[in-house]
Structure 1
Amino acid sequence: MSLNPVSFDRPLAHEPRLSAPYVPGKRDKRFWTDAECDIIRRYFPLGGAAACLLRLPDHRTPQGVYCQAKKLGVKIQGAPSARQRHRATPELDERIRDGWRQMDAGRKGAVAELADRLNIPRWWLTKRMTVLGLTLRHKKEPRWTAAEDALMREVPLHRPDLAARVFREHGFRRSPMAIVVRAKRLDLSRRASRPDLSATKAASILGVDSKYVTGRILTGELPARKT
């Protein structure tokens, strides 16, 4: 008795080609041609990506133009050859301190004007002033008083803008957002004044989960209406 070898390899069925057949001399449009590279070399230094896009095919994007210009080593005329680094020196720090003492720190644009006088970027000046401790202390809102908490139970919390107006009439300056946050911390409902309770409020009174109340509403055991 002889044993014959058996192959378990399955024959591969011929599948149709999914990609387009290769055509000699034809390239995909995502590749840059020599003519497009010449456009970048000629127009990018003077007009940037905008000037190149006017002469390139529609599928080219500004990001693609910038990337290709970087690969070709083409730069806009007037651009610095290398990034300028600003280093802090004792003399510069003293000039910054003198400028800080003289300027109105609360006025808008004062820091930008100082940066122009010192011939340094504004972002660098802001970071350096933070390191030197030349910053303004932000004014925090005062703590809530007992009188304000009592007034919170009288104002229409469902209208924060109107509640803020009532606070101003009583001599308190609170923003509508501050009133909303305070109502949440005091566990005050912001619904309009009416005897109805929300499902969450009813659950907190009964000492059960809000889903328990919602389930009883859906089954009809608890009367409820949508407001």
Structure 2
Amino acid sequence: MSEPRLSPRYVPGRRSERFWTDDEKAVLREHYPTGGAKACQARLPNRSITTIFQQAGKLGLSAPKQPEKRTRHEYSPELDERIRAAWPTLKGKGAVAALADTLQVPRWWLTKRATKLHLTMPHKKEPAWTEAENALMRNVPLHDPDRCAKIFREHGFNRSPTAIVVRAKRLDISRRTHETLSARAAAKILGVDDKHVTALCIAGDLVAGRRGSKRLAQQGGDAWAIEPQDLRRYVLDHLKRIDIRKVDKLAFVALIANEAA
């Protein structure tokens, strides 16, 4: 039985809603410089504020500058008593915002004041990363964040999979497994299409394994993992099949040169 589609079926002649029409762009050019994103959204209800901001930026449009309004909200014993009385009764999403509207204070101020009054626990920031953790980042399988988190716990560090992925980005460490090549990387070296390399792997002409990724069947299944020496052996055994005019010359030469390394 075939797997369900991940994307809607293509309909010829149908235009996707994510593309902006000329009429919509005309609305932005007319109203964004004077009324900002809200004025445009009133005329384009199907567009969110975020997408209006993004499209206006692409068009080089600037919204009118808003005057700075800074209001200092002072606390008082009476206000504190109202907060203490109402806070235990808050239930459900939006309850804090509703109380802030009732007290006529910003939501952030109310949350901060509740923390000062010991009505809620303060948000704990992520502890700073140590040199030992940064060094461990370069020795864990970053392509599998769950396994990385387990390794961190085994070393006495409590880091979530998400925190590890974010840290890898900040340290500019690639999460890819550099010891192996993907089908696309191998195809680039050979100067062929990705599907051609996939067919070679399936047929067994090119020795390849799997990365152990969590890709679904609709996404092509688990990604191929090709050892450089196996790709090099394939090239040497089937040199007549390689069209030198189409290969990535630098990568091709580097692959072959490693034979003597």
TM-score of the superposed pair, with normalisation by structure 1: 0.37
- In terms of Rg, which structure is larger? 1
TM-score of the superposed pair, with normalisation by structure 2: 0.33
Q: Which has the higher contact order (CA 8 A, sep 6+)?
A: 2
